Amino acid sequence: MTAPNPFHLAIPVNDLDVTLAFYEDHLGCSRGRESHDWVDLNFFGHQLVLHRTDESESPGATGANLVDGEKVPVPHFGVVLDWQAYDTFIERLVAQDCEFVIEPTTRFRGRAGEQKTCFLMDPSKNYLEFKSFRDPAALFFEDAGTYV
């Protein structure tokens, strides 16, 4: 598998300053270009843009799907980290007393697609997932079976 191209994702935020502080201070993102109504961030090598919106337009989860016994909020986005980098990142979040929507856990333990995962919610109610696969090749594994 070759390294993926960086993605670009623009998300709505209802308080640009507070949400920006969350991404910079808690997640370690660095700031790029910016204007009064938006800020580009380096989100683990990807371009994430925070766009100021009216408070009533904040997305939040519209639903959830059951994944290995956990109700996973939909929509959500995130990144896949190296196995050890995930542990280091989680230690950082715990040390900062970050509030998890889904606590760090190992999903599909001992099965194809085994992964560490956790969920956070930013101050504008956007859900984020951070995960790591024991076998990085399992990220796009086509014959992993059906999971409930």
27-84 residue pLDDT tens: 999 999 999 999 999 999 999 999 998 765 555 657 888 888 888 888 999 999 999 9
Structure tokens given for 106: 């190992």
Residue 59 lies in a domain: no
Nearest to 131 by CA among 116, 148, 144: 116
Residue 73 lies in a domain: yes
Residue 121 lies in a domain: yes
Residue 3 lies in a domain: no
Pairing of strands 8-13, 127-133: unpaired
- Sequence length of the chain is 148
Alpha carbon 98 to its chain centroid, in Å, reads: 14
Residue 148 lies in a domain: no
Total tally of structural domains belonging to the chain: 1
pLDDT of 58 reads 54
CB atoms within 10 A of CB 135: 12
Nearest to 1 by CA among 121, 136, 109: 136
Q: How far is CA 36 from CA 12, 43, 59, 91, 146, in A?
A: 14, 20, 21, 33, 46
pLDDT of 64 reads 82
Structure tokens given for 108: 């599909």
Structure tokens given for 24: 């910079």
More confident residue, 142 or 13: 13
Q: Which CATH number do you get for residue 71?
A: 3.10.180.10
Domain that holds residue 74: 8-54+65-140
Residue 147 lies in a domain: no
Structure tokens given for 35: 């204007």
Quote the percentage of the chain above a pLDDT of 90: 66
Residue 136 lies in a domain: yes
Contact 12, 77 (CB under 8 A): no
Residue 2 lies in a domain: no
